[in-house]
Amino acid sequence: MTHNIKIAPSLLAADFGNLQRDVEMVNNSEADWHHIDIMDGVFVPNISYGMPVLKAIQKHATKPLDVHLMIVDPDRYIKTFADLGASVLTVHYEACNHLHRTIQAIKAEGMMAGVAINPHTNISLLEDTIKDIDLVCIMSVNPGFGGQSFIENTYEKTRTLKAMIHGKRAKTLIEIDGGVTSKNAKALINAGADVLVAGSFIFKSDNPTQTIHELKEILS
């Protein structure tokens, strides 16, 4: 029943001392995208990594780069991330004063435009932009850190968003980010998710390649 569900391992949970090895693990696995979390210490209470590290990742990555910006005023860097090879560029709803303009600017650089929403942000706020958005990233944890536990309200949000997408005849993909494991993956897909991001569950497992394979099996 499931259509082409994508898995996007989050490199935030990789071993940064062995970044090339971990990027290559994703290359050689059944995963679909590399999920890259950029945090500025202002929008979220943590700083991850920035452009030079993304450049190093890009050098080795063979799959599309799904870049998740947890930064204030992301418009400043849209061109920069396009030049760094991002295929999907996701900005936070809460960080944009002129979201419609930001979405158009991302598309004008040839990238898929993503909008992430925090756990407290209501889906209905996307009603007027949904047809323009290529991907909505529903945060299933408060952004800023890997390894947090999944917020159960995410299922309801996913169902509500899926209904809105259908109702508006939009083609938007739904991505779920935070606390994804083999325990909630199937239910998320049943609720309408298209892309699952997983960090700790993959990289902290004994055999990340096998864990990705198992996630794919659950979803097939």
User: Residues with catalytic annotation?
Assistant: 37, 177
Q: Which of 6, 32, 38, 68 binds ligand DX5 (CB under 6 A)?
A: 68
Choose the contact partner of 12 out of ligand DX5, Zn ion, none; CB within 5 to 8 A by kind: ligand DX5
Cα separation, 92 vs 126, in Å, equals: 12
> Which candidate, 6, 19, 79, 29, places its Cα nearest to that of 53?
19
Residues 177-216 that bind ligand DX5 (CB under 6 A): 177-180, 197-201
Query: Measuring CA to CA, which residue among 137, 130, 138, 88 is closest to residue 113?
Result: 88
Annotated ligand binding at 68? The verdict is yes
The reply, when asked if residue 17 is annotated as ligand binding, is: no
User: In the complex, what is the shortest distance from the CB of residue 190 to ligand DX5, in angstroms, rounded to a whole number?
Assistant: 19
Q: How far is the CB of 69 from Zn ion (least distance, A)?
A: 9
Q: Per rule CB under 6 A, is residue 143 in the interface with ligand DX5?
A: yes
Q: CA 9: distance to chain centroid?
A: 9
Sign of CA dihedral 10, 115, 143, 178: negative
- Of 191 and 196, nearer to Zn ion (C-beta) is 196
- Determine, following the binding rule CB under 6 A, whether residue 5 of this chain makes contact with ligand DX5: no
C-alpha distances (whole Å) from 29 to each of 22, 50, 117, 119, 126 are: 11, 25, 28, 30, 34
Residues making up the binding site for a divalent metal cation: 35, 37, 68, 177
